[in-house]
Structure 1
Amino acid sequence: MHIPKKGLRALGIAESYSGREHSTLAGIVMRKDLIIDGFAFSRVTVGGVDATDAVLEIVTALNRRDINVILLSGCVIAFFNIIDPGQVHDMTGLPVICVTYEESTGLEGDILHHFPMDTTRLDAYRRLGARTPHSLPDGQTVYLRSWGLDPADAGRLCTAFTCEGKIPEPLRVARLTARAAHRFVSYPV
């Protein structure tokens, strides 16, 4: 992957979770020069196990061959609905970067508390592996996991797509879009 390329495209996927039955996912295709040229939506079940399928649904709905990388705003969404980025990478052939924004000791205890007998969910979380801290040019730190891309290139891509603050632009716009879409579908008709 040629990271300096101006037309490099990332698919940023983020959610809007508000404690209801479903959470809304938005996928935004953004070029490195910050031009948005595609979007799609899907839903995940709060507390469910369908997050990976929902991410793949977005990729399928977009039907794009020009996406170079998938950025995920977290791998554990919608009340411990865990995305399997390795499966997303295997199914799409695209590198996947999971971005989180705070240092953490992990979620094993929380998963065991809320889902005490769910070893499948706990194993899925453990397979995510350790996060790698990445310092952005402004001194802020994000935490990355990557599949199909080495950690150094994952960090360079996050830096290339981050304008201000610490949220890469495709993920920031995806989060805003997911929130707006979630509010829209939640309105009574």
Structure 2
Amino acid sequence: MHTGKTGLRTLGVAESFVGGGPSVLAGVVMRKDLLIDGIAYSEASVGGMDATDAVIALYESLGRRDINLIMLSGCVIAWYNIIEPARVSQATGCPVIVVTYEDSEGLEDDISTHFPDDTERLAAYRRLGERSAFTPGTGHTLYYRAEGIEHEAACQMIDALTLAGRVPEPLRVARLAARAVMRWRCLPK
């Protein structure tokens, strides 16, 4: 991947959920020069194990071959529904960068408490591996995992796509899109 190309396209994926229904995943295709080039939606079950398939389905629904990178806003979403970046990368042929915003000791204890007999979920969480800290030019530290892309290139992309604060633009816009759909769903009928 040539990280200097302005036409490089990132699919940013973020989610929103309110108890009682599925989680909404929004995907925003954004060029490196920050032009939005597409939007798609998918759903994942709250507390389920279908988030990886939901991200892959979102990507496939776009029917595009020009997406160069997938960026995820977290990989543990919708009440411990785990997105597996390696599976997403393998299924789509795109490198994956997962971004989170808080330092933590991890979620193993929480997963074991809420899902005591779910060895598959715990194994999926453990496969995620460690996160790396990075501070883009905005001066706000974030944490990331990279799959199918070198750490230096991942940091270059995060830096190029982060204009303010610590949320890269494709993820910021995807989060707004997911929340808008969730608010619309929650309107009185």
Secondary structure class of the residue paired with 1:21? coil
Secondary structure class of the residue paired with 2:72? strand
**Residues 26, 39 of structure 1: 8 Å contact kept:** yes
- Whole-Å Cα distance in 2 between the matches of residues 151 and 41 of structure 1? 28
Q: Which residue of 1 aligns with 2:167?
A: 167
Is there any run of 5+ residues in structure 2 with no aligned partner, and where?
A: none
Of all paired residues, the percent bearing the same amino acid is 57
Q: Which residue of 2 aligns with 1:135?
A: 135
- Whole-Å Cα distance in 1 between the matches of residues 119 and 151 of structure 2? 28
Q: Which residue of 1 aligns with 2:103?
A: 103
- Residue 19 of structure 1 deviates from its aligned partner by 2.3
Q: Which residue of 1 aligns with 2:59?
A: 59
How many residue pairs are counted as aligned between the two chains? 189
- Residue 69 of structure 1 deviates from its aligned partner by 0.1
State yes or no: 1:34 paired with 2:34.
yes
- Residue 10 of structure 1 deviates from its aligned partner by 0.2
Secondary structure class of the residue paired with 1:103? coil
**Residues 138, 162 of structure 2: 8 Å contact kept:** no
Q: Which amino acid aligns with 2:36?
A: I
- Whole-Å Cα distance in 2 between the matches of residues 76 and 20 of structure 1? 18
Matches within 5 A, 1:69-88: 69-88=69-88
**Residues 28, 36 of structure 1: 8 Å contact kept:** yes
- Whole-Å Cα distance in 2 between the matches of residues 171 and 92 of structure 1? 19
Which stretch of structure 1 is more off in the superposition, 132-141 or 70-79? 132-141
- Residue 171 of structure 1 deviates from its aligned partner by 0.2
Q: Which residue of 1 aligns with 2:176?
A: 176
Which stretch of structure 1 is more off in the superposition, 148-157 or 71-80? 148-157
Q: Which amino acid aligns with 1:16?
A: S
- Whole-Å Cα distance in 1 between the matches of residues 23 and 138 of structure 2? 32
- Residue 137 of structure 1 deviates from its aligned partner by 1.1
Q: Which residue of 1 aligns with 2:147?
A: 147
**Residues 8, 67 of structure 1: 8 Å contact kept:** yes
- Whole-Å Cα distance in 2 between the matches of residues 123 and 58 of structure 1? 24
